[in-house]
Every structure is written in C-alpha cells, then in structure tokens.
Amino acid sequence: MTILSHPIDEQSNPFAIAQQQFDIAADLLDLNMGTRRRLRVPRRELKVAVPVRLDNGDIEVYEGYRVQHNVARGPAKGGIRYHPDVDIDLIRALSMWMTWKCALVNIPFGGAKGGVTVDPERLSLGELERLTRRYAAEISIIIGPEKDIPAPDMNTNPQVMAWIMDTISIHRGYTVRPTVTGKPLHVGGSEGRTEATSRGMICLLREACRHLEMRMDKSSVVIQGFGNVGGNAARLLYDTGVKVVAVSDVRGGLYNADGLDIPAIQRYQAQTGTMAGYSEAEGVTNAELLELPCDILVPAALGNQITRENAARIKARIIGEAANGPTTPAADAILAENGHFVIPDILGNAGGVIVSYFEWVQGLQEYFWSEHEVVENLERIIIKAFHDVVKVAESRHNHMRTAAYLLAVRRVADTAETRGVYP
C-alpha cells in the first residue's frame, strides 16, 4: 500500500498538516509545480480587529479572520469558529480543507473559513451579538452570496448566522438570505441543516460497515464532542438502535459498555450545561475515551486528537472523522499500518456543507424543499462520494484519506489549470 512518499514529522500546526496532506496528494498526482504553488497557499486572507462594548462599559478588542483558500470552482464556502485557539494558521488549514471537501462531493464551491479568537462562554448574549455583528460588518467587504458564504462551526449556531444575515442585510438595505447558511428555519434556513453533518456521517458509517462486512446494528460507537455534530450523531444512532457506549464534551466523558441513554444525557446537559456529574455512567477523560474498546470511533470536537502518541492504542475498526483535522499525518500512517478504516474529515463531515449548498440554492431561488427532498439528495451525494473514494483507494492501493485527496485535488487542479493564470 502506498501511504506516504516522504517521512512524516509530527506537526501540531494545522496549516503545516494541511500542506503536508496536500503534498502527499500532489506527489502522487504528479501535479505540475505551478499548480502546486497556487493550491498550497490561500488566495485571500483578511484579518480584522473586532471592538466590542462589554456589559460593564469597557471596550475589548478581539482578533477575527476570514480566509478564502480557493475560488476556482465557485464562491468560497466555510464556517465561522469562535474559540480561544483560533489563529491565522488554524483558519488557513480549515479553509484549505473546505476547498477539498467541496470538490470531493462535487458541489460548486471553493473553500473558506473564518473565526474570532474568543471564549464565547465568557460573553453574555448581548456581548456575543455585538461581537458577531461587528465581525460580520468587518468581513462584509469580502463575503456575500456570490462571493463567500459563511456557516456555523464550533461555538457558532443558527442564532449567530441570523445576526450575520441581518447585519449584512441592514447594510445592503434589503434582506439577503443566501449570505450565510445554517440559519434558523424561519429566517430562510433549510430543513435538515441542523442534523446534516451528523446524518451524513451516519450514512457513511452505514456504507463503511457494508463495505467491511460489519453489522452496524451490532456495533458499539464512541463519540468525542457532544455539540451540534457529536450530540446529533449520538441521538440519531441511539434512535436507530445502535449502541453508543461513550460520549464526551470539553469537561470529560461518560462510558457504559452496555450503551448510554443518550436522551437522558441530553436532558441532563440541557439542565446543567455539561454532562459532567451525570451519575448513570462511568466517568472517563477525553484521552481515555479515544482508546476505549469499540467498533466505531467518531471524533467530533477539536483537531489533533489522534497523534503519533496514541494512534497505536486506538481500538475502533472504523474511525469516522466528523471533526476537522482530528488525525495528524504521523498518526494516519500508524492507523493505516494497523488496518483501521478511516473515513477522512473532508468526506466524513461533508454532510454539513452539502445541505448548506441546498440552503444557498433554496435562498437564491426563494423556493424551499421538504425535509424528505433534503435528506434524499444529501444521501445520494454522500454515498456516491464514499464509493468514488473507495474505488480510488482500491485501484491505487492508497488509504482513504489519500484517495479522497487524489480525487479532490485533481478536480480543483483541473479547473484552476483550464481557467489559467491571470493575466
């Protein structure tokens, strides 16, 4: 099996990791040097200062970013993250991954990402709204329905998207619904968007189980992260009778080898703001959770969770990457060596951007689809992408991530090369 063409140093800088992943594909595709230089770096980067009047009257200034990695195949697309770890290299990496993700599932978008370096748990609702509106106003010079369309990511949600859409609309003087996706239904969102990333992941897990001749209904699942993606994935699995044996949030996790009562944990979390302290399961740390005995592991929180250090102790047969960048390239090599089946992030969490694409189309056409239409089209696109990747992995003897990159990078490179270099 061709895994890597050059030795891998353990990197923790996400942009260095993203470039390393790209280089592996570029080598295997024998990409010409000019195209490689163009695709290796973002097309456009905006850094903004975001002054916010706090409730006590003080003014705090936060750093914000919007990076557009590539727009060869269509307007830039990607989420907005509010997190203390946000910096330019994280946003660059996330924007590059968006380019490959959109190309892999063949939707007409380029890649972008944005974020603000902030711990939103420390802000009141009013402060969060003022931060969002000022950040939206600052990046309004490069976003818009035909240019760059943001969406939710960690610590941003449909309410934040509604504030962004409203801010851009106020500046324009009329309502511009397709400015962002992931909006609440009653402000022009799409049916099925909230669960889209999780639904896409579950569909992929089903296909992976079929491919590996495993019984999904007899499998045990561990999920790291219990937010939009991890929480909805746990609930959808529970509702279909699949045993979820461990879940976690930022404060730690819960484990029960016989299966967790996910609705009860969701109720507990809604009352207390965390799952920590829930008494009907054993407590585990986030590090322990990754190494638990299970059939399927779904990282759905932060990046750099599976590393050279812990990769050899992972027990799950299938690793379904719902988070962006949860596995380092050095860990990838170990997982491949040990025969794990990885559904790489650019495929694993693509359900979100697929339904964001549907929401954008619905907003542009002012014509809205039923949930049934959304789910049917999501499943059609993501199942095709899964089998496209498996076919490349098998024919070229690569593992799934490299196969996904080969497909995605080739598509973007073809478009960029045919369009040419201006002037």
By the criterion CB under 6 A, which residues form the site for ligand NAD?
Answer: 152-155, 197, 224-230, 248-250, 286, 300-302, 322-324, 349, 352
51 forms beta bridges with 61
Q: Which residues of 363-393 are buried (b: 16+ CB within 10 A; e: fewer)?
A: beeeebbeeeebbebbbebbeebbebbbebb
What strands, in cross-sheet order, belong to the sheet with 243-249? Answer: 282-284, 252-255, 243-249, 220-224, 296-299, 318-320, 341-343
- The nearer residue to ligand NAD, 29 or 383, going by C-beta atoms, is 383
Minimum distance from residue 271 beta carbon to ligand NAD (Å):
15
d(CA 58, CA 194): 35
Q: Which residue is nearest to ligand NAD (CB)?
A: 227
> Residue 28 or 389: which CB sits closer to ligand NAD?
389
What is the end-to-end Cα distance of the chain in Å, rounded? Answer: 42
CA-to-CA distance for 296 and 321, rounded, in angstroms? Answer: 10
Alpha-carbon distance values, 4 to 8, 19, 94, 331 (Å): 8, 14, 22, 12
**How many residues would you count in the chain?**
423
218 is catalytic: no
CA quadruple 392, 397, 400, 406: dihedral sign: negative
User: Residue 42 or residue 348: which is nearer to ligand NAD going by CB?
Assistant: 348
Q: Which of 77, 113, 183, 243 is catalytic?
A: 113
Task: State the Cα–Cα distance between residues 343 and 214, nearest whole angstrom.
Answer: 15
Q: Is 325 helix (H, G, I), strand (E, B) or coil?
A: coil
Going by their DSSP bridges, the two strands 220-224 and 296-299 should be labelled as: parallel
Amino acid at 406: L
Q: Least CB distance from residue 293 to ligand NAD, whole Å?
A: 19
CA 212 distance to own-chain centroid: 24
Task: For the CB of residue 142, give the shortest distance to ligand NAD in the complex, in Å.
Answer: 21
Residue type, 42: P
Give the nearer residue to ligand NAD in terms of CB position, either 305 or 398: 305
Judged by beta carbon, residue 20 or residue 181, the one nearer ligand NAD is: 181
Decide whether 72 or 323 has the Cβ nearer to ligand NAD: 323
The token duo for 240 is: 């279909």
CB of 224 to ligand NAD, least distance (A): 5
CB of 349 to ligand NAD, least distance (A): 4
- What string of DSSP letters covers 247-271? EEETTEEEE-TT---HHHHHHHHHH
Kindly tell me which of 284 and 406 has the beta carbon lying closer to ligand NAD: 284
- Looking up tokens 């490299």, which residue turns up? 402
The first and second tokens of residue 296, run together, are: 């399927």
Smallest distance from the beta carbon of 351 to ligand NAD, in angstroms?
A: 8
Q: How far is the CB of 222 from ligand NAD (least distance, A)?
A: 12
Catalytic residues: 113
